[in-house]
Structure 1
Amino acid sequence: MRRLCRNGALFALTLSLAACGFHLRGVGQPLRPLSFASLSVDGSGPVYEQLMADIRRDGRVQLAGKGQTAQAVLALMPPQTSKDVLTVNRAGKVNEYQLVLTQHALLTFAGSDVPQPLSATVRRTLSYSENVVLGKEMEEAQLWASMQREAANMLVRRLSFIQPPKAGEASAGQGDAAARKP
């Protein structure tokens, strides 16, 4: 009888979560449609690989290979990382570190010479103990990997909000820049 009640409660909870639209992160709705049909991505590293996987997973944007032309080109800069002391204890030993990953990128549309900057900054706190050094090294490696995935997801979401410049805006922006030069 207890088992039946527990299974019934679990079923009711599952049904109510499904009915309210709950879904795990990354499993739900597809990305917002991007404003271009083809994209070329220049870069390397773990953020690049995750970004490519995220864009491939959506399937609405064709990834252009080397030498192919695309409607937009995304150039990833090397990621900037830092590990800063966040807190210390009374003895002056480190209690926590703050891990920071910043990924900058430039998006250039075909027919426009003005790149649009994108950036994603991810911060995590890592507690530290001298007694558990090996475990903390593994935890730090997992945090860096998680931060790289999140930075790639942030860049893809930001790509969906960027609109290509209209024909008049691209040439006007270049004219303004030329007018400012001495």
Structure 2
Amino acid sequence: MTDYTDVELHDEHIAALRSLLKFDLAAAEVYENETEDAAAIGYTLMVYSAFAVAVHRKFAPTYSMAQILRYVADLRISLGDNASQVNPRVAECMIRAALGDETLDDHEPYGADMQAMMDVEMTVLLDLADKARFNQAGLDKFLRDSADYARRWLTVQQARQVGEQASAE
């Protein structure tokens, strides 16, 4: 289980996400070169949070399974020869999980591995961000919403871990 005790979100996590969403290849180096666990978790959390916010903007408050299936199929078609980088089962499950679908009866990593999940997360995020055609104000709002989501998620995880530690003592 990941220890979130010392994890904090900082401006550099948000700045790296901004660079990534602008398709700045230097952003990938920041993620790949991070060696401190808490900082690396912060980068990963920002990417997941942006994925979740983008998915909510696309599908919430109401959606159908057919809409999710069609989106994943269209995404894979748009990738052409690279379609295999998006496992359809993983993509559909990750989208449903991000939307809080209580009927989802599958669990991470959805019959695949963590690399498949990371590929889906990044591909869907970049696709939805590209389709959003953010102007500067829109990108700033998206980043704020993603950071807020990440902070809320992190607060819940940290409180859960404190509770588990107290129960174990």
TM-score range, shorter chain: under 0.3
Q: Larger relative CO (CA 8 A, sep 6+): 1 or 2? A: 2
Q: Which has the higher helix share?
A: 2
Alignment TM-score, normalising by the size of structure 1: 0.25
Which of the pair has more CA radius of gyration?
Answer: 1
TM-score with structure 2 setting the length: 0.27
Looking at secondary structure, tell me which structure has more strand per residue. 1
